[in-house]
Amino acid sequence: MDYAIEVQNLNKTFGALHAVRDISFTVSRGEVLGFLGPNGAGKSTTMKMIAGFLEPSDGRVAVCGFDVSQFPLEVKKRIGYLPEGAPSYGEMTTLAFLRFIAEVRGVPASEREQRIMDSIRMINLESVIDQRIETLSKGFKRRVGLAQAILHDPEVLILDEPTDGLDPNQKHEVRLLINKMAQNKAIIISTHILEEVDALCSRAVIIAKGQVMFDGTPAELQSRSRVHNAVSISLNTTDDAGVVEQICNTLQALDCVHSLEQQTTENGVTRLLILPLNGVSIIQPISEQVHSHDWPVGEIRIEAGRLDDVFRSITTGGDVVQSEVLS
Amino acid sequence: MNNTLAIFKRELGAYFSTPVAYVFIVIFLFLTGIFTFYMGNFYERNQADLEPFFGFHPWLYLFLIPAISMRLWSEERKTGTVELLMTLPVSLGEAVAGKFLAAWCFTAIALALTFPIWITVNYLGNPDNTVILAGYIGSLLMAGGFLSIGSCISALTKNQVIAFVISVVICFLFILSGFPLVIDFFSSWAPQAIVNVISSFSFLTHFESIKKGVIDIRDLVFFASLIAFWLYANVLVIDLKKAS
């Protein structure tokens, strides 16, 4: 029952626009919730309501047991929030900005400098502490926003696109940081980057058109993929001798195989994608066949499942779009 | 209280970390000088007082105060920092008060920098310095009134130019309502009570009496309640507008 974040039947309307419809989920300490969805799905709006910036039209948000509408200040004290676009006061230096935040956050004066230096070190901001924020690059601005969010060591972190605008190295650093903090905090991050869900999140929630379409682990998300547990093999032969056709027929005859896709590439290599029936693991029977028939197999690989396919199918509501695994 | 202080410090620092503060102060001092000595005939009057100096303050403030107040909230809304500020453990009232006080303190600094004029008049003659002090207090109160209007208006829009123009218009109405032109227009047909109400809303009426050295409690209450009213409206406007 001791959830750090509890969202119940949350609704938000802006005039005629129903931006968030009946969203419910919970986040416990130690969990990193990945908040996914296409642009305009209501991710930021939901996060703004949890952070206490927007009033919900209906429903309830509780953070560490405090209702956001009734005890906004108690909630805000416990949250570190990185708003969308990481806004900050451009005319201030990084250090002055963090001092301001520390003061308003009520960090005791005796610990203030220490905390500020700690978060500067954690986010690698040492090189820009005396620069005005408006002169910083997009990546540094984002990191100043992150530093501001973790400054008071909050129980709950809400990060709206924390890695947006960062280069791959910086993304990696931020992910390490979030992983490190994940043990004793409840964290919600929103992102467009699906690999991030795999790398960071213990749970993923996908919303589209303001509704929750999926709530589960990244592994469950992957298992929804059409090619989940599919096996792709490449044969060092072309089809002229009828070998490939023979192989296809043999594989198709296996009980566990649902269907087979074939594509011949130019360099004398034929690639096959074998889709399993009901998503079961089929590597065992296939490798047995490969060995017993001594097929000219160059490579054999299990497909984990395509997150972007799943994402598309969930958010557009259609069937899984034909994947491009073979190409 | 601590939060108000932190926001106050940040906001006041923001004025001085951009050229705004220096440009404003230089123009303010330059214009007060011109108005006092050329248009106010400071020397020709042969009187040891600062009447011509204070007399032009309402008109100076009409354009200069909205220039200070226009960025207070519209910039926060434009850059999105209002979201940051409103998700810090700060109440709206504390934020509005902190920002308003910073702007007010800034005008006080500009006003204090007119001290050479006070030295001049003391050097040339023997003015009644309590009247001059009253003039300064009245001027500062009036500036607070203008600022509270400007602060509220700047919360209405992301565009600083719009905030400036609307603030000037509303401030102008508050000055005009005490003008003979307006008073005469109403007194020809409206009952005296209504005329009194209209003229009592004028900054000029209240400033005039303070300027003469008479600090009446009614004038103080007028400015205090005017500031309180507009700042309260400011809080409501931010609460309503922050979503859009």
DSSP of chain B: -HHHHHHHHHHHHHHHTSTHHHHHHHHHHHHHHHIIIIIS-TTTTT-SS-HHHHHTHHHHHHHHHHHHHTHHHHHHHHHTHHHHHHTSS--HHHHHHHHHHHHHHHHHHHHHTTHHHHHHHHHHS---HHHHHHHHHHHHHHHHHHHHHHHHHHTT-S-HHHHHHHHHHHHHHHHHTTSHHHHHHHHTTS-HHHHHHHHHT-HHHHHHHHHTT---HHHHHHHHHHHHHHHHHHHHHHHHHTT-
Length of chain B: 244
**What average pLDDT score do residues B72-96 get?**
93
> Hey, is the C-beta of A95 within 8 angstroms of any chain B C-beta?
no
> Hey, is the C-beta of A279 within 8 angstroms of any chain B C-beta?
no
Record: contact A91-B80, CB cut-off 8 A: no
d(CA B223, CA A45): 40
Q: Quick one: pLDDT at residue A325?
A: 41
3-class state of residue A264 by DSSP: strand
Q: Quick one: pLDDT at residue B243?
A: 65
CA of A30 vs chain B CAs: smallest distance (Å): 23
> Hey, is the C-beta of A57 within 8 angstroms of any chain B C-beta?
no
Mutate to test the interface with A, among B1, B87, B242 (most CBs of A within 10 A): B87
3-class state of residue A52 by DSSP: coil
> In the numeric block, which tokens belong to residue A120?
């500067």
Say which of B10, B79, B89 has its CB closest to residue A105.
B89
d(CA A117, CA A95): 9
> Hey, is the C-beta of A90 within 8 angstroms of any chain B C-beta?
yes
Write the DSSP symbol of residue A93.
B
Say which of B18, B81, B87 has its CB closest to residue A88.
B81
In the chain, the amino acid numbered A95 is: L
**What average pLDDT score do residues B152-161 get?**
94
> Hey, is the C-beta of A54 within 8 angstroms of any chain B C-beta?
yes
Is the pLDDT at B179 greater than 70, yes or no?
Answer: yes
Closest C-alpha among A230, A239, A185, A213 to residue A33: A185
The tens digit of pLDDT for each residue in A225-282 reads: 777 888 888 877 766 667 777 788 888 778 788 887 876 666 777 788 888 887 778 8
> Which of A 111-170 lie inside 8 A of B, CB atoms?
132, 148
> Hey, is the C-beta of A76 within 8 angstroms of any chain B C-beta?
yes
Q: Quick one: pLDDT at residue B10?
A: 95
Is the pLDDT at B161 greater than 60, yes or no?
Answer: yes
Record: contact A104-B17, CB cut-off 8 A: no
* Helices B160-176 and B71-79, axial angle in degrees (round to 10): 160
Using a CB-CB cut-off of 8 Å, the residues of chain A touching B20 are none
What phi, psi does B142 have (nearest 5°)?
-65, -40
Nearest CA in chain A to B16: A91
**What average pLDDT score do residues B170-174 get?**
90
Is the pLDDT at B123 greater than 80, yes or no?
Answer: yes
CB A215 within 8 A of CB A203: yes
What phi, psi does A157 have (nearest 5°)?
-120, 130
Say which of B14, B79, B83 has its CB closest to residue A53.
B83
**ipTM for this model:** 0.87
Q: Quick one: pLDDT at residue A323?
A: 40
Query: Vertex A223, ends A219 and A224: CA angle to 5°?
Result: 125
- Which residue did the predictor score with more confidence, B212 or A143? A143
Q: Quick one: pLDDT at residue A259?
A: 80
CB atoms under 10 Å from CB of B82, counted, come to 23
CB neighbours of A140 closer than 8 A, spacing ≥ 6? A125, A128
CB B74 within 8 A of CB B158: yes
Q: What CA–CA distances, in Å, run from A236 to A216, A297, B134? A: 40, 6, 98
The tens digit of pLDDT for each residue in A182-212 reads: 888 999 999 888 888 888 899 999 998 888 9
CA dihedral A232, A238, A243, A244 (to 10 degrees): 30
**What average pLDDT score do residues B94-99 get?**
96
For strands A156-160 and A186-190, give the pairing.
Answer: parallel
Record: contact A92-B13, CB cut-off 8 A: yes
Dihedral of CA A237/A241/A244/A247: which sign?
Answer: negative
> Hey, is the C-beta of A96 within 8 angstroms of any chain B C-beta?
yes
Mean pLDDT score of chain B: 89
CB B95 within 8 A of CB B235: no
**What average pLDDT score do residues B111-115 get?**
94
Residues of chain A with pLDDT under 50: 319-327
CA of B223 vs chain A CAs: smallest distance (Å): 30
Using a CB-CB cut-off of 8 Å, the residues of chain A touching B17 are 91-92, 132
For strands A203-208 and A211-216, give the pairing.
Answer: antiparallel
CA of B209 vs chain A CAs: smallest distance (Å): 41
d(CA A316, CA B164): 46
Q: Considering the entire predicted model, what is its pTM?
A: 0.86
How sure is the predictor about B209, in pLDDT bands with cuts at 50, 70 and 90? Answer: confident
Q: Quick one: pLDDT at residue A192?
A: 81
CB A5 within 8 A of CB A26: yes
DSSP one-letter string for A234-259: EESS-GGGSHHHHHHHHHHTSTTEEE
CA of B10 vs chain A CAs: smallest distance (Å): 7
